[in-house]
Amino acid sequence: MNINQDYSSDDSIETAIDAMDHTMGWLFETFIEPKQGEIDEDQTMLLAVMGLTLKEIARRADAYDQMQNNSDQFSKN
């Protein structure tokens, strides 16, 4: 059950990278973009570092998922 009327299932999210991109896009549209005129240079740099960190976490999670999937294939032989 989903209580958000605007919710639509997005089946295109298949990897951790896809999920992070979707999440970061929503965060930008909802919280960052409306406040762009109020964000100073230090906050902009912090947001950039946070974005890069989240992208790296997603990249590593995706690599781990791929490694696990490959491991499962070999264990079935």
Nearest to 13 by CA among 24, 3, 4: 24
For residue 60, the enclosing domain spans 40-68
pTM of the full structure: 0.74
Q: Minimal CA–CA distance to 26: which of 45, 54, 49?
A: 54
- 34 within some domain: no
- In this predicted model, what pLDDT tens digit does every residue of 2-51 receive, in sequence order? 455 565 655 688 999 999 999 999 999 999 999 999 999 999 999 999 99
In a domain, 64, yes or no: yes
> In the structure, what pLDDT confidence band is assigned to residue 71 with cuts at 50, 70 and 90?
confident
- Count up the domains in the chain and report the number: 1
Within-domain flag for 47: yes
pLDDT of residue 6: 61
Tell me, yes or no, whether 25 lies in a domain.
Answer: no
Domain-embedded: residue 7: no
